[in-house]
Structures are given as C-alpha cells and as structure tokens.
C-alpha cells in the first residue's frame, strides 16, 4: 500500500484525465513540419504532474511513429552551463544514431558541433561571451572569439542542411528547468533558442513559470516574461486536476487500507465533518494524497486494533501537514482529553480556561500552515476543545467516556498515548460553463444545464463547484439575484436527484445541498431573506422532503431539534422567522398527504421526521391514518428502509428496514401478513423497482431469526434482487 512519489510512465496509469491532451499534443507534433525549431512550454507548479504529462506525450509519439528521434535531456546531470551544452549535443548525436543509423553524416556533424563547444576557449553563457583564455590581450581575444563563432555557425548551418535532407523529426523533452541555478536556466533557453534551432525539432520544456521568469529577469537584467515569449511558441498552463479527482484518489487509497474494517467501527458523520472542515483543506494534489496515505498506512498497520480509524486519520493529517502543531500535542494530554463538565461552576470554568490556555500555546506565533483547519481537526478529535475554539458543528461527537473508551478514541486519557507510539477529465466541467451557470444563464437555462450535467454523471462535481464559487474570498461575489436563481433551481430539482454513495468516505448528498445553500443565502440581504425563503416553502415545485432538509439546518443553527448549542454566527434566519417557516412547512406536508403526492413518489414521505420534531401530534396522526391500502403500506415500508453498505470481507450494498419506525404506522406483524399477500398481485409489479426492493427487504428481514442481532434487518442487495425476481416470475406465470 506504500506508494512511491514518482511520475507515471504511461497513459494507462493516468488518474487525472490528461491522456486526451497528451494524444492531441502528440498528433500536433507528428502532423506538423517546422522550418526551424518549435518550442512548447508546459507550465505548472511543483507537484502538478509535469513529468507525468511529458511521459504520456512521448509515449503517444512513440506509439504512432517509430522513426522519431526522442531525446529526454536531463540538465541536472551537468555540472556547469558549458557541460550542459556539450552534453546536449553529444546525447542528441547518440539518439539520432540509435533511431536512424543511416543518418551517420548528421550524427558526425552534431558530435563535432559538441566538440567545438567543448574545445572552444569561449562559450555562449548568460547572454554574453566569456573569455577563458587566461590573461591575453583584448584584441587577440576578440579575434579568436570571432573565428570560433564563425566555425560554430558554419557547422550549425551544415547540420541544418543535412537534417533537412534526411527529413529527421526530433522531439526533445527538458524537465525540471525550474530546479536549476539561475545561470543554468538561462543556458537552457539559449540552447533551445539559438544553438539547437534545427528544422523539425520540437522542444517540450516543463517548468514553474514564476521561478523561470524571475531567473531570466535576474540574469538578463530585463523583463523575464518578454525573454520567455521569444523562446516559447506555445505556452500551456497545466490545469490543476479537479478536486473531486484528487479526493477520489484519496478515498481509493484509504479504502484499500481500511477495506476489512467492520462498519460498526466507522463513524461516518465524524469522518464527513473531519474531511469537510479539516483534511479537505490540506489535500490539494496527488502528491498530498501519497504523503498522507503512506503515513496513515504505516500507522494503521501498527495501531489499527487499538485506535479509532477516524481519530487516526485526523491525527495523521496534523502529523503530515502541521508537524509543528502535531509535535506539541503529547504535552497537553490533560488539557485535551476528557470533558470540561464538572461538579461546580468554578471548577468547570477553571477547566475551560486551562484548555483555552493550551490551545493558545499550541497555536502560538502563527505556527500553523492552516490554523482554522488545524483547529477544526482538534475540535473533532477532542470535544473538550470546542469551548476553547468556539467552534460549532452541525454534526459531530460529544464526549461520552464509555462510548469513547469502547471505540478507543484519542480523547480518552487511557487511549491517548497509544496514538503517539509512532512519533486529474471526463468528469470536468468547463470554466465557461460554470461561470455562465453561476453568473449569466436565465432560470430555464440553469435548469437545462443542471439536468444535462446530472445526466452526464457530474452532479457531485457541479455541487462542489457551486460551493466553491459561493465560498470564495472573504466577501461573496455572487449577486443576490443570482443566488436566488441557483437556490430555487436546486431546491426544485433536488428530489429528482439520485446518486449512489460510493463508499464510507462519501459525503451524503443531502449535506451537499446544505453546503451550497448556506453560503448562497448569505449573499441575500437579511431583510430580503425571509421573503425569499417563504416563496421557496410555498413553491409547489419544491418537495416537502427538500424543505425538511432546509428546515432541519435552520433548526440546528438555533439549537432546536438537536442536542447542540445554538450557533448565533451561523443563524441564517431569526427564531421568529424560523417559526413562520415551520407553519409553511406544516401546510405543505398536509397538502402532500391530502393530495396523495406524498405517496406518489419514491421518497415522498421523507419529511415526516422533521414534522414529528415540530408537531409531534400531527405527525402521529398522519402515521396512524396513512396506511389505508396495500399500496400505501408499500410506500411506508420504503420510507422506513435505508440504503447503505456493510463490510464483512467485502463491501456490499445493503438495505436496512427500521421495524421500530414502521411500528409507528402499523403493527409490523399485520404489515408482514398484508405485504406477503400484496407481492403476489399484479399491483405489486406496477410499483417502482426501488419500492419493490424495499418491500422484499422487509419480507426477508421478517423471516429471519430475531436472535441474530448482527444481521437483523440488514439485507444484502444481491439477496433482495434474487428474491424479487422469483416474485415477479411467479406473478408473470399466474398471468400467463
């Protein structure tokens, strides 16, 4: 599971969807002819995948034509600028001889050209001519320089003529230019621009643009950008891989490490919070993924049986990306572990102050690379620190000694020390498309675009992009009128979206709606916000199940329908406004029940939990009167059935029938008898496939022995599909 931090060698290993670009560039190189050399600049920061991209381009070139001369020139192997130039031509002569043995004249000329530089008393260097003849008279030095230059130019002209006759195609890659000294960087560009300007020679130069521009400006005493523009004919900024691709790579790595872990040990809510507010802020490249997963793998191999995997992931993140913060934590065990609650106010206050002091010491002098993310991780790992950090979370953990001890959480003093025993695509959305959708498209066009992206399997990427746009900078730059359009379209369409959760690490789809809506609502003036929200809650195109998601978020912000404290900094509506929205929500719920709309779609009853929180009697009445026939019973069973994954030896899809919740609607034994008869009728074959599967899951769960608590009510998807097919075949047989 340890991954070396090396570039990929072939396109089949590409995980960042860059193969198509490599193919296109290779085609341009092979299909074009150039009277002089042609230079492509691939600009990218350290770790952006420049070397991998060069490897893929060369692979594509060699795959299409076998007669192209390939030179992978590594300037790092040369000790000084003079040797760099000499070695380039020596290696070029060797490459030509290997690929085109018949072109011996060209090989000999290029090799002689290299000898001229090696033997010359002067070499072109940093834009000037350096005399190396010792202490001689200036006039003689100039005469010698002129003679040598004439010899070199004549030799170069002969090389150009012979290359044209042989119709050679040469491709040269020069990587890591930005890691050379400033003088060496200039020598590379002088080599490409003046000394090796041969016909049909294509140079692929990979480097960090800013580093090279600064070097050129320093040595040339001029504008580094202008100098670079004279050398590079086609500049290309290597696009950063999508964050979803990088995150998928991380999840794949972690999934491979944690593959055999029991589901009972995985606190998904804690992971989502840890990733969203902590880990996500550090994983910016594939290199970050490799560093993080490698360290976690080593720690997990030693500590997996004695630690909580979520906590180990959080602590490893600090170890890799915040080493200074990490190195101090073991000194603050008393202040981090346990809870602050105590038998007296004075004692509790003293504990709070001690923890605040510890947090102040840990983050003193701005030592953290990302202080907010690091504090979020500590707030999740150590609930005791939330008071000191003044962080509030919509989801997460509160300290429970017994539960934490069983799960070996780091916040338990007895478990603390053991954690320190080891001291880029097809899914991309064009920028123009996103900017048009965010800032320009009318409502109808927004709906059309979102629908198309959803059908293309890009919904998650779209939501991540919207969230990113809504949260960019300290001040939101999305106008209120655009925020209104986006929220309304998302809310109207939300109930139609179905996205399968890939694995343990997947952020729940419902959370993604809230991640988008919350910052967009902040773009709307507080005085106008209620009016807009009221229109959403009264909008017949917005399903009550979607309204329930929004309302639950608002309730949580006020500390309602949750055991968490109110978070005044995150409250998007006042309490009076929230109560007004509750009234509108109840009205919409009743309309959905009375009209039958709640039973007409698969997830139509998903508002009931929220309704029970704000009006228990009304929800109870609905539950007691909702099951009027077998069709409504089937819909209620679906409401009480959740989908997920379980880990035994492999990760498998499951459905979990909550018979306790079902019992609030109807006696489960009566339900079992009625549904058993219903599945033998034609009416059963006419309901949705998902509804059918939920019903079959209920039947299978009810048939099981009730003593097996490990698997009770969890039914594998394969078993459901097999049983469903038997039922449908029996119905078909009766009709025949």
Per-residue pLDDT at 413 exceeds 90: no
What the block records as the tokens of 77 is 């192997």
pLDDT digits (tens, 9 = 90+) for 103-148: 888 888 888 888 877 665 444 443 433 334 343 334 444 444 444 4
Per-residue pLDDT at 570 exceeds 80: yes
pLDDT digits (tens, 9 = 90+) for 203-236: 999 888 888 999 888 887 778 888 888 888 888 8
What's CA 596's distance to the chain center, in Å? 41
Q: If DSSP codes are grouped into helix, strand and coil, which group holds residue 349?
A: helix
pLDDT at 642: 81
What's the rounded mean pLDDT across residues 457-484?
Answer: 79
Q: Residue 354 burial by CB count (10 A; 0-12/13-18/19+): exposed, middle or buried?
A: middle
3-state SS track over 480-535: HHHHHHHHHHHHHHHHHCCCCCCCCCCCCHHHHHHHHHHHHHHCCCHHHHHHHHHH
Q: Of 299, 238, 291, 293, which Cα lies nearest the Cα of 5?
A: 291
CA distances from 325 to 9, 311, 380 (A): 37, 16, 15
| 356 pLDDT tier (thresholds 50, 70, 90) | confident
pLDDT digits (tens, 9 = 90+) for 270-300: 899 999 999 999 998 888 898 999 899 888 8
What the block records as the tokens of 375 is 């504090």
List the single range of 47-61, 449-463, 514-528 with lowest mean pLDDT: 47-61
Q: Of 563, 652, 654, which Cα lies nearest the Cα of 613?
A: 563
Q: How many helices (H) and strands (E) does the chain have?
A: 35, 10
Per-residue pLDDT at 483 exceeds 60: yes
**Can you list the domains of the chain with their CATH numbers?**
11-237 (3.40.50.300), 243-420 (no CATH), 431-614 (no CATH), 635-735 (no CATH)
Over the range 427-464, which residues count as b (16 or more CB within 10 Å of their CB) and which as e? bbbeeebbeebbeebeeeebbebbeebbeeebbbbbbb
Q: DSSP class of residue 436?
A: I
Q: Which of 95-104, 285-294, 479-488, 560-569 has the highest mean pLDDT?
A: 479-488
pLDDT at 707: 52
pLDDT at 735: 79
What's the rounded mean pLDDT across residues 372-380?
Answer: 92
Give the rounded percent of residues in the chain with a pLDDT score beyond 70: 85
pLDDT at 236: 85
CB atoms within 10 A of CB 135: 6
Calpha distance 373→282 (Å, rounded):
8
pLDDT at 521: 94
What's CA 217's distance to the chain center, in Å? 36
CA 212-85-190 angle, to 5 degrees, is: 40
What the block records as the tokens of 672 is 């079992």
pLDDT at 650: 53
Calpha distance 131→158 (Å, rounded):
26
What the block records as the tokens of 15 is 């995980």
3-state SS track over 125-157: ECCEEEECCCCCCHHHHHHHHHHHHHHHHHHHH
Which comes out higher in pLDDT, residue 267 or 316? 316
Q: DSSP class of residue 567?
A: -
Per-residue pLDDT at 446 exceeds 90: yes
pLDDT at 150: 53
Q: Tell me the torsion sign for CA atoms 203, 207, 212, 213.
A: positive
- Which residues 6+ apart lie within 8 Å of 146 measured at CB? none
In the numeric block, the tokens 């029938």 are attached to 657
Per-residue pLDDT at 606 exceeds 50: yes
* Element housing 9 (H / E): none
pLDDT digits (tens, 9 = 90+) for 713-729: 678 888 889 999 999 99
Per-residue pLDDT at 8 exceeds 70: no
CA distances from 377 to 145, 405, 605 (A): 65, 20, 36
- Check if the beta carbon of residue 563 is closer than 8 Å to that of residue 613: no
CA 544-513-519 angle, to 5 degrees, is: 115
Calpha distance 727→375 (Å, rounded):
54
| 388 pLDDT tier (thresholds 50, 70, 90) | low
Q: Residue 729 burial by CB count (10 A; 0-12/13-18/19+): exposed, middle or buried?
A: exposed
- Check if the beta carbon of residue 652 is closer than 8 Å to that of residue 718: yes
What's the rounded mean pLDDT across residues 321-328?
Answer: 90
Per-residue pLDDT at 709 exceeds 60: no
For the chain, the average pLDDT equals: 82
Which residues pair with residue 43 across a beta bridge?
207, 237
- Check if the beta carbon of residue 513 is closer than 8 Å to that of residue 551: no
Per-residue pLDDT at 316 exceeds 90: yes
- Which residues 6+ apart lie within 8 Å of 695 measured at CB? 634, 637, 638, 675, 678, 679, 684, 687
Bridge-based pairing of strands 714-716 and 651-657 is antiparallel
pLDDT at 287: 83
Q: DSSP class of residue 28?
A: H
Calpha distance 358→360 (Å, rounded):
5
Q: Of 224, 254, 205, which Cα lies nearest the Cα of 51?
A: 205
pLDDT at 410: 92
Which residues pair with residue 174 across a beta bridge?
73, 205
pLDDT at 135: 39
Q: If DSSP codes are grouped into helix, strand and coil, which group holds residue 428?
A: coil
Bridge-based pairing of strands 170-174 and 69-73 is parallel
| 345 pLDDT tier (thresholds 50, 70, 90) | low
- Check if the beta carbon of residue 605 is closer than 8 Å to that of residue 691: no
- Which residues 6+ apart lie within 8 Å of 458 measured at CB? 427, 429
Per-residue pLDDT at 401 exceeds 80: no
Calpha distance 633→386 (Å, rounded):
44
Calpha distance 295→326 (Å, rounded):
14
């Amino acid at each position: 599971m340890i991954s070396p931090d090396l570039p990929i060698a072939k396109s089949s290993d590409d995980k960042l969807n860059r193969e198509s670009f490599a193919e296109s560039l290779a085609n341009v190189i092979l299909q074009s002819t150039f009277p002089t050399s042609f230079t492509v600049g691939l600009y990218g920061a350290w770790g952006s995948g420049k070397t991998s991209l060069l490897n893929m381009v060369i692979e594509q070139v060699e795959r299409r034509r076998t007669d192209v001369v390939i030179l992978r020139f590594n300037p790092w192997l040369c000790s000084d600028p003079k040797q760099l130039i000499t070695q380039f031509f020596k290696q070029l002569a060797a490459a030509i001889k290997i690929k085109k043995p018949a072109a011996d004249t060209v090989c000999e000329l290029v090799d002689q050209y290299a000898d001229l530089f090696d033997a010359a008393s002067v070499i072109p260097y940093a834009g000037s001519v350096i005399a190396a003849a010792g202490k001689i008279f200036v006039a003689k030095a100039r005469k010698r320089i002129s003679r040598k230059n004439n010899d070199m130019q004549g030799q170069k002209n002969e090389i150009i003529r012979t290359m044209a006759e042989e119709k050679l195609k040469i491709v040269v890659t020069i990587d890591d230019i930005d890691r050379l000294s400033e003088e060496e960087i200039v020598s590379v560009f002088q080599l490409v621009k003046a000394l090796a300007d041969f016909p049909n020679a294509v140079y692929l130069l990979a480097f960090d643009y800013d580093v090279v521009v600064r070097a050129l400006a320093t040595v040339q005493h001029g504008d580094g950008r202008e100098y670079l523009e004279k050398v590079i004919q086609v500049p290309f900024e290597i696009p950063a891989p999508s964050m979803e691709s990088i995150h998928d790579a991380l999840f794949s790595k972690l999934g491979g490490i944690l593959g055999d872990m029991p589901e009972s040990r995985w606190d998904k809510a804690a992971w989502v919070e840890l990733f969203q507010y902590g880990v996500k802020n550090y994983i910016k490249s594939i290199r970050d993924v490799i560093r993080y997963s490698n360290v976690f793998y080593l720690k997990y191999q030693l500590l997996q049986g004695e630690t909580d995997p979520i906590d180990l992931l959080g602590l490893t993140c600090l170890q890799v990306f915040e080493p200074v913060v990490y190195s101090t934590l073991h000194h603050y065990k008393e202040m981090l572990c346990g809870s602050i609650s105590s038998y007296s106010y004075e004692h509790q206050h003293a504990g709070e102050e001690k923890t605040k002091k510890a947090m102040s010491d840990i983050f003193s002098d701005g030592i953290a690379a990302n202080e907010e993310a690091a504090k979020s991780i500590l707030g999740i790992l150590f609930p005791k620190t939330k008071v000191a950090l003044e962080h509030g979370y919509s989801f997460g953990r509160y300290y429970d000694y017994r539960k934490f001890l069983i799960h070996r959480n780091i916040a338990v003093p007895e478990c603390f020390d053991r954690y320190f025993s080891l001291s880029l695509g097809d899914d991309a959305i064009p920028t123009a498309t996103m900017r048009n959708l965010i800032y320009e498209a009318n409502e109808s066009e927004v709906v059309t675009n979102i629908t198309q992206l959803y059908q293309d399997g890009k919904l998650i990427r779209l939501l991540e992009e919207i969230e990113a746009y809504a949260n960019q900078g300290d001040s939101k730059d999305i106008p209120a009128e655009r925020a209104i359009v986006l929220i309304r379209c998302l809310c109207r369409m939300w109930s139609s979206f179905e996205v399968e959760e890939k694995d343990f690490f997947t952020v729940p789809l419902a959370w993604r709606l809230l991640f988008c809506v919350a910052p967009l609502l902040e773009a709307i003036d507080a005085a106008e916000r209620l009016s807009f929200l009221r229109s959403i809650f009264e909008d017949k195109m917005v399903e009550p199940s979607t309204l329930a998601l929004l309302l639950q978020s608002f309730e949580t912000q006020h500390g309602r329908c949750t055991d968490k404290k109110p978070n005044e900094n995150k409250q998007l509506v006042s309490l009076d406004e929230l109560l007004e929205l509750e009234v509108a929500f109840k009205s919409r719920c009743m309309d959905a029940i009375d009209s039958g709309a709640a039973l007409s779609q698969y997830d139509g009853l998903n508002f009931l939990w929220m309704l029970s929180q704000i009006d228990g009697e009304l929800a109870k009445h609905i539950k007691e009167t909702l099951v009027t026939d077998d069709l409504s019973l089937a819909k209620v069973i679906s409401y009480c059935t959740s989908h997920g994954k379980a880990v035994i030896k492999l990760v498998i899809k499951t459905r979990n029938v909550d018979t306790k919740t079902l019992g609030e609607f109807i006696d489960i034994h009566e339900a079992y008898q009625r549904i058993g008869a219903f599945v033998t009728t034609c009416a059963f074959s006419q309901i949705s496939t998902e509804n059918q599967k939920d019903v079959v899951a209920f039947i299978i769960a009810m048939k099981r022995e009730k003593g097996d608590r490990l698997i009770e009510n969890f039914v594998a998807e394969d078993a459901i599909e097999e049983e469903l097919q038997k039922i449908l075949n029996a119905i078909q047989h009766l009709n025949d």
